[in-house]
Amino acid sequence: MPGQIRVDRNGPLAEIIFDHPERRNAITADMWRELPEVARELDADESIRVVVLRGEGDLAFISGADISQFEKQRSGDDAAQYDIKNAHAYQAISAIRKPVIASIHGFCMGGGCAIALTADLRFCADDAIFGIPAARLGLGYEQPGIATLIRIVGEPRAKEIFMTARRFDAIEAEAMGLVNRVLPKSELDAHVEKTVEMIADNAPLTLRAAKTAFTDLARNESQRKPEEVKAAIRDCFDSEDYAEGVRAFLEKRRPKFQGR
């Protein structure tokens, strides 16, 4: 297979798997095109409470866009269309209204790093290697991607990452706030699984309202939509889950949330 996006479902968890191990999970044009549809499908699936992004195999999360396609598909007039596909993929993952976790090991470069930045939480193995080598390829980098990186690591760090195009390891990524936590590679999957269980046990509408608020706060002030946030909060108070949460607290038991 020349690379594919796989989706594995397990109860409340869905994994989006970047499956192109022969090229360290580099993303092909077809994979970029598939991602928005996959993201929208999982967003609409009420049985799914958490989405995890991960790469196939032991060598990489995502090593970036598939550079072997650049001469034919990312040059001349085609370059703009290629970048539009990328942007749609990033936007679609960011728009998933339930928590998204990036489980990162090995290479997380270029477009792979940008994919990781669309997640709400990022956990990485101690063998993770990060970088955005656009300046080594002569690529122009779209402003929304730069804005996202600045929001997460700050402007000085973002400038260093872009201007040097160097690679940096997991410890440095944690220090700059790019990842939430670094774990031994043998412990990464177990930590992500535990985190998924904790999140899936919480009230889905509360998490959705919180993510709606976080997303809105990340927008420019003139583009914010406070009514969307207020509506999401009202949905919480009008829900059966809110009544269940209060009852469970008073009865000193674990709540059983249904997402309605």
61 lies in the same domain as 93? yes
Confidence of residue 54 (pLDDT cuts 50, 70, 90): very high
35 lies in the same domain as 12? yes
- Give the closest residue to 46 by CA, choosing from 90, 85, 12, 16: 12
In a domain? residue 181:
yes
In a domain? residue 242:
yes
In a domain? residue 147:
yes
Query: Residue 141 is part of a domain; what is its CATH number?
Result: 3.90.226.10
221 lies in the same domain as 183? no
57 lies in the same domain as 166? yes
Per the document, the length of the chain is 260
In a domain? residue 257:
no
88 lies in the same domain as 44? yes
- Give the closest residue to 189 by CA, choosing from 104, 130, 114: 104
| pLDDT tens digits, one per residue of 185-232 | 999 999 999 999 999 999 999 999 999 999 999 888 899 999 999 999
Determine the Cα angle at 99 with ends 168 and 151, to 5°: 45
Which residues have a Cβ under 8 Å from the Cβ of 138 and sit 6 or more positions away?
Answer: none
In a domain? residue 258:
no
Residues above pLDDT 70, as percent of the chain: 96
* Domain boundary pick from 180, 199, 218: 199
Give the start-end residues of each E strand in 152-224: 168-169, 181-183
Strand order in the sheet with 13-19: 4-10, 13-19, 50-55, 100-104, 121-125, 181-183
10 lies in the same domain as 94? yes
Question: What pLDDT, on the 0 to 100 scale, is given for residue 44?
Answer: 96
Asked whether the predicted pLDDT for residue 64 surpasses 80, the reply is: yes
* Domain boundary pick from 199, 217, 236: 199
11 lies in the same domain as 117? yes
173 lies in the same domain as 46? yes
215 lies in the same domain as 151? no
Give the mean pLDDT of the chain. 93
In a domain? residue 71:
yes
The DSSP secondary-structure symbol of 249 reads H
In a domain? residue 259:
no
234 lies in the same domain as 177? no
The DSSP secondary-structure symbol of 174 reads H
* 38: containing domain: 4-199
Any idea which of 10-24, 42-56, 64-78, 122-136 has the lowest mean pLDDT? Answer: 64-78
12 lies in the same domain as 90? yes
In a domain? residue 120:
yes
* Domain boundary pick from 174, 199, 224: 199
- Give the closest residue to 65 by CA, choosing from 14, 164, 141, 123: 141
Query: Considering its fold, how many domains does the chain have in total?
Result: 2
56 lies in the same domain as 174? yes
